[in-house]
Amino acid sequence: MFALVRRADLAEVIGAALAAKASGAGARAIAAGIGRPVETVRGWLRRFAGRAEEVRTVFTVLLVDTALDPVPPAAMTTPFADAVAAVFGASVAAASRWPHVGEVSPWWLACAATRGRLLAPSLS
């Protein structure tokens, strides 16, 4: 799965925006960098921020359940960054267990794990 429910952009594009925000970039800079309207990017960032704790929890559990020797990600500077780190951590854990999973982006894994609902009103 490579797309999110009700989103026109691929998961990698949205994921790149989320990762950039977690690194401290603003919506205008992110939008310019990925060539998308700033309103669209702000919508993604708002939706993700509103569920950052839920995303962090889901992907931390996935990491711990998947990894052979789980190491949860270190606390970041914001809940948003914590959630993005959990997505990347779960991706690393899955790739360590199943090498072919490492051939897809962390955002494809996030799409599959949430059934495309990463930015939907509910993850379930």
Specify the DSSP element, H or E, that contains 87. Answer: helix 79-97
* Residue-averaged pLDDT of the chain: 92
Using the structure block, give the residue that is written with the tokens 């594009």: 13
Which amino acid is it at 41?
V
Lowest mean pLDDT across 22-26, 40-44, 71-75: 71-75
Residue 5 has a pLDDT of: 81
What pLDDT, on a 0 to 100 scale, did the predictor assign at position 11?
92
- 85 CB contacts (<8 Å, ≥6 apart)? 22, 56, 73, 74, 76
**Confidence tier at 13 by pLDDT (50, 70, 90):** very high
Place 1 in a pLDDT band, splitting at 50, 70 and 90: low
